[in-house]
Amino acid sequence: MFEEEYNEMVIVKDIELYSLCEHHMLPFFGKAHIAYIPKGRIVGLSKIPRVVDVFARRLQVQERLTEQILDCINDTLQPDGVAVVIEASHMCMMMRGVQKQNSTTTTSGFRGSFKNTDTRNEFLNLIQFRSS
């Protein structure tokens, strides 16, 4: 971890995640998109996907996973803001009950400066952009 003054938004998107639903004991999988705005502390980019893996590798629900990632980054780096969006497909939706193979679930959470509409919209627009 390094201490300097930074003002730009750091985004790591399309982080693959695999977890196991604690309700149905069936997998869910998808992608996480994470951003933070440093305030004196930065971290190596590979640490962001590791945070996702730490929390995803336990019995989990997507809502709690989103909050745990947010809290971990916020508490550790103490940035100006943190944003997390997770898009996942749940096998319990695909193979049980309603059997909707093409459905996805999106959860999001925002802390600090990401509660500002302009900052949040910048992040959401950037994670939608797909490079070719």
The residues annotated as belonging to the active site are 21-24, 62, 90, 92
CA 92 to chain centre: 21
Angle, helices 47-56/62-77, rounded to nearest 10 degrees: 140
Strands (DSSP E) found in 1-132: 2-3, 10-21, 27-37, 41-42, 59-60, 81-90, 105-112
Nearest one of 32, 10, 18, 15 to 79, comparing CA atoms: 10
Amino acid identity, position 53: D
Q: In this structure, what are the phi and psi dihedrals at residue 94, rounded to the nearest 5 degrees? A: -85, -35
